Structure 1
Amino acid sequence: MATVLPELVSYLEGLPEPHILFDRRYRIVAANAAYRRQFSPQASVVGRTCYEVSHQFSVPCDQAGENCPLARSLESGQRERVLHLHHTSQGESYVNIELVPLRDAAGEQAYFIEKMEPLRVAQGQPAAQGLIGRSPAFQRMLELVSRVGPASASVLLLGESGTGKELLAQAIHEASPRAANPLVVVDCASLPETLFESELFGHERGAFTGANTSKPGLVEAASGGTLFLDEVGDIPLPMQVKLLRLLESGTYRRVGSTELRRTDVRVVSATHRDLKAMVADGRFREDLYYRLSTFPISLPALRDRAEDIPLLAVALLARVAPQRRLALSPGAMARLQRHDFPGNVRELRNVLERAALLADGSNIEAVHVERALGSDAPAPARERMGLAPALDAPLRSVERAALQAQLKAHRGSRAELARKLGISERSLYRKLRELENDPSAS
């Protein structure tokens, strides 16, 4: 092994994050106390390879399906950043890796310093909360989160319903310098157009009937933190220009006021809609679209990360039935992995909750999952409205007619109607808005 300058070893030892120094053959030459505590508290790491200690691999990372920062640095000649899933003394953990090459007297890359910072918002194993997964699609998404989190750029989350967009927004917020300040969620789909501006920007006393006191808006509540605009495609056109002004200048006015106020928010937005198509149809402002989508992130559907279902299932079972120690049989797990999950992680959670109720013992068998997925499960909302089970596209002609009939017959609140249909209020408002915007509905 090469002799390392004691000054360099002393420098590494004083750093709070795990650091190692290793050579071109992946052999660790020096490791600081933070690294030793995290990866090998009982045994020496000097002389061992970084991939064996950090990953428990027998070959370098790029030969085991991961990006190798050393290989990338040798190719680029520069420092490199990657996201890795490491084996620590506390279990598997996602880690941001920053590798810096050190050159010898001949200008050749002889050694490398690797800094490791944990990405605390995600796990590669079942966990009580946070993002869970280890599939390639999940890791690609997570790497984008790790890169944009510390920045101030606006982020647009794109994905099907149930993929976890609000959870990802929370991860971005927690990975940012704003993590100690509020994350404020604006549910754009459930806010009526008449109340949207007041809820977002606040109002002054007397601004409208019922405004007996001044009230700050959600933008003001999020100052210093993150404003998450969920289902941004449902924002009314008249409000879009005011939101654009907020994004471009950081200024807004309360309803009923002429005073220009300032706020400091980082905006993360999400939608399951095709915003580009909405721009082409004139239903969404092009300038707002580009302002929101500075850094777009696509969330993979669950069917595109089926290898994550076992991890998710274990974690979700602990959440839906915390008082029972339930386990999934191999047959039950195999049946879950064969399902297409059009409702994604939200559907998986619902299926597991139903299967837990159907199982009397401590094991959930394939028959319980089959019943939870099939005709013995609670009827989907479309069946409660008298629709054929095969109807999947939202608001097709039959569903549209059934929803209109339910609206005419219902005399209670929208919350009661949502419960009757077996859907959330958010989903009901989304369907109603789609109904209003569909010219064939009239």
Structure 2
Amino acid sequence: MKDLTYRLPQKRSVVTELPGPASAALAKRRDAAVPRAVTPSLPGYVVDADGGVLVDADGNSFLDLASGIAVTSVGASNPAVVEAVRESVGHFTHTSFMVSPYESYVAVAEKLAEITPGDHDKRTVLLNSGAEAVENAVKIARNHTGKNGVVVFDRAYHGRTNLTMAMTAKNKPYKDGFGPFASDIYRAPMSYPLRDGLTGAEAAGRTITMIEQEIGADNLACIVVEPIQGEGGFVTPAEGFLPALSQWCTANGVIFIADEIQAGLCRTGDWFAVDHEGVIPDLLTIAKGIAGGMPLSAVTGRADIMDTPMPGALGGTYGGNPVACAAALASLQQMETLELAARAREIEAIAREVLEPLTAQGRVAEVRGRGAMVAIEITDAEGNPDGATTKKIAADCLAKGVLILTCGLDGNVIRLLPPLVISEELLRDGLDVLVGAIAANS
């Protein structure tokens, strides 16, 4: 991969026990001030970050294969984003676009209309979080169709608000004890090639049959699908699954919503994951990587659908904050300038080169994903999901200064979300540590 310029040394270095004394002191303060439900993965408290490294209060440098859950795709302190934020905040921090508008909101909407799939007329509403984007997409779909039903999928993750908890599949830790949840949410089977062995057409047929028999298109406002599932295990549907669902939606007056919050914005090697098969959603939800770490999300979609709600029906006090919009414009420009979609494909090639040989050794059932959204599914000797070993692998990596995340309903999937600006040397170092941790726990 092409070398980039970094502000901090791009190397991992654990110089204290974990946590170090400064971070341990901060952890005590956290315990006294923050509820236990907010539980960080990293034992170190970050004071600096750049490229593919996180530096904690004790001087430990961690290799970051998480990107703040796919947020810091352009880096955690990208100079262009930092300068855009500095310039914007020097003028004004907030006015609320619904009260006194500003150009940067419009510019972000124009850019999203340009890069999202399809050449149809589009509109965009800007919000704060991924869950808020999903909620608004459902609101818009219901308003446009006059119908209430929402189909989501096995292992789906869409957020932590009441509606999006209903849409999210995994109970613990996301839903347990937080109900009752919003109604008219229906869960359909997702294509999972490793486990169901179906082609995309077969899996789509199964899903469509369930929808027609158990819900009915006349009652269905929208289908909401992650083109590659995130928390559910980085499940990549078989080719043909998404196009078939999209075509069925068009034929039956159902809004097709692609939740691109984790997979979008160059992460999978294209602007959006649906681009891989040429799927054109009616609505897209966008967040995470859009603003280089600043809080911003969006719903972008067909103008006739987006314009259905009455004036004043969409918005929010902080939605499309001017500083976040400035960061987004800089981030999107960096994605183009640094050719981060191509870089994501290079990251995938390196990851597969290093990791795919592990599938012959018995404990790695599959290496899957696209671009810089790569997963490893871990099983036991009998081929059953092995969450306990996966947890040990992640802990071993962390002890050596490599931050990785796990996911999946069984907790047996290692997910890799490196910053798209990571150097090849650092990426290979992290993958080597991961390979060693898998070998040590096999």
Normalising by the residue count of structure 1, what TM-score does the alignment of the two structures yield? 0.28
Which has more radius of gyration? 1
Greater length-normalized contact order (CA 8 Å, ≥ 6 residues apart): 2
